[in-house]
Amino acid sequence: MHYTTFGRRTGLRVSEYALGTGNFGTGWGAGAEPDESRRMFDRFAEAGGTFLDTADGYQFGESEELVGKFVAADRDHFVLATKFTNGATPQPDISRTGNSRKNMVASLEASLKRLGTDYIDLYWVHFPDDLTPMEEILRGLDDLVRSGKILHAALSNFPAWRVSRAATLADLKNWAPVTGIQIEYSLVERTADRELLPMAESLGLGAALWSPLGGGLLTGKYRRSTEGRLTDLKAVIHTESTEQKTAVVDTVLAIAEETGATPAQVSVAWLRERAVQASTSFIPIIGPRNLTQLDDYVGALDVQLTSKQFARLSDVSAIPLGVPHEATAGVRDAVQGGDANRVLPPATPVA
């Protein structure tokens, strides 16, 4: 396992994988029992993993409780990230959900108790609530950083325009900076290439990338069976609903055959190579449901794609970038003096 800082705006050292713990517990009616969760945690730690990602809503709080027990023996070794917005109870409550300062503070105190710790390394706003102004969110997070209860703050599943505005506001007002984003990203979900990931690279934000296997689609298992997450978890999943997705899965399976790796390992190996090429840290969040799946992810650390294999996967999964990107690409030669190939771009994308 390699390590990096979480973006260019922190010195927070994290492992190249984050262990997503949404499957730790069975509060949702599906997931891993405590003993299996413990085995996954131990295996991740043995492989060198330090970055743990949970949320108050995962398994209605059970995930946080289990993670807290697992890290208790060496809390400071691990980078502990959790989230708030959704609440931790099966029945949403008007006063215990959303991103208001009231719910932010109450949610953090409850998470600290479940996790058995007095600080959170990275605190995520899980989702926009379409009600709370960004100024209130940022000032609330700044207060929590100044109190020492959280060390860093970040935004999950927010659109790029809101993240970039938040980062600018925080800088102008000398509040705790926005340090990262968390978004879905995989070979079958690359829309973040349009705005979110270029923004993260330019602003130096860390990017935690969830669902790296497209909800299991990239393993090829749905061609053999409908069992698993496709049927028993109400989560974001993908099916072969387009010709492109079918072509992506075909390519993943073909390269798995060529390399002797599993399709999951090929898919994560592509994502790891994509991260190497970024100018800030891109961290896949792996979300295994059992030890076998975790071992598959760990095995991907040893898979090295050739440049041609990486290009095949990149090309087959590429999406149209749309407006204004395609228009600006058409005039790039003109605006860069007639031949853009003769102009060396800056190492960090221009904001």
In whole angstroms, what is the distance from residue 70 CA to residue 35 CA?
11
226-265 b/e with 16+ CB inside 10 Å = b? Answer: eebbbeebeeebbebeeeebeebbebbbebbeebebbbbb
Give the H or E element holding residue 103: helix 101-115
* 311-338 confidence digits (pLDDT tens): 999 999 999 999 999 988 889 999 999 9
Chain centroid to CA 284: how far? 6
pLDDT at 54: 98
* 266-299 confidence digits (pLDDT tens): 999 999 999 999 999 999 999 999 999 999 999 9
Average pLDDT over residues 9-14: 98
In whole angstroms, what is the distance from residue 282 CA to residue 197 CA?
9
pLDDT at 227: 54
Q: How confident is the model at residue 23 (pLDDT cuts 50, 70, 90)?
A: very high
Residue 218 pLDDT > 90: yes
Torsion, CA 99, CA 102, CA 108, CA 109, rounded to 10:
-160
Residue 347 pLDDT > 90: no
In whole angstroms, what is the distance from residue 28 CA to residue 90 CA?
9
* Range scoring the smallest mean pLDDT among 21-30, 156-165, 308-317, 341-350: 341-350
In whole angstroms, what is the distance from residue 75 CA to residue 69 CA?
10
pLDDT at 224: 78
Contact partners, residue 11, CB within 8 Å, separation at least 6: 5
Smallest Cα–Cα separation from 23: which of 43, 1, 38?
38
Tokens representing 129? 């609530």
Residue 219: C-alpha distances to residues 133, 211, 264, 314 (Å): 40, 12, 5, 17
Residue 229 pLDDT > 70: no
Give the H or E element holding residue 3: strand 3-5
Domain ranges in the chain are 3-342
Average pLDDT over residues 116-144: 98
Residue 236 pLDDT > 70: no
Average pLDDT over residues 204-210: 98
Respond yes or no: is residue 123 known to be catalytic: no
Q: How confident is the model at residue 225 (pLDDT cuts 50, 70, 90)?
A: low
In whole angstroms, what is the distance from residue 104 CA to residue 97 CA?
9
Residue 175: C-alpha distances to residues 143, 144, 145, 225, 351 (Å): 9, 11, 9, 50, 20
* 138-193 confidence digits (pLDDT tens): 999 999 999 999 999 999 999 999 999 999 999 999 999 999 999 999 999 999 99
Average pLDDT over residues 21-27: 97
Average pLDDT over residues 86-92: 94
Catalytic residue among 58, 123, 185, 222: 58
Q: How confident is the model at residue 13 (pLDDT cuts 50, 70, 90)?
A: very high
pLDDT at 21: 98
pLDDT at 330: 86
Helix (H, G, I), strand (E, B) or coil at 169: helix
Partnered with residue 329 across adjacent β-strands are: none
**Amino acid residing at 260:** G
Range 3-342: architecture per CATH: Alpha-Beta Barrel (3.20)
Residue 264 pLDDT > 90: yes
**Amino acid residing at 216:** G
Residue 228 pLDDT > 60: no
* 29-87 confidence digits (pLDDT tens): 999 999 999 999 999 999 999 999 999 999 999 999 999 999 999 999 999 999 999 99
pTM: 0.95
In whole angstroms, what is the distance from residue 133 CA to residue 260 CA?
50
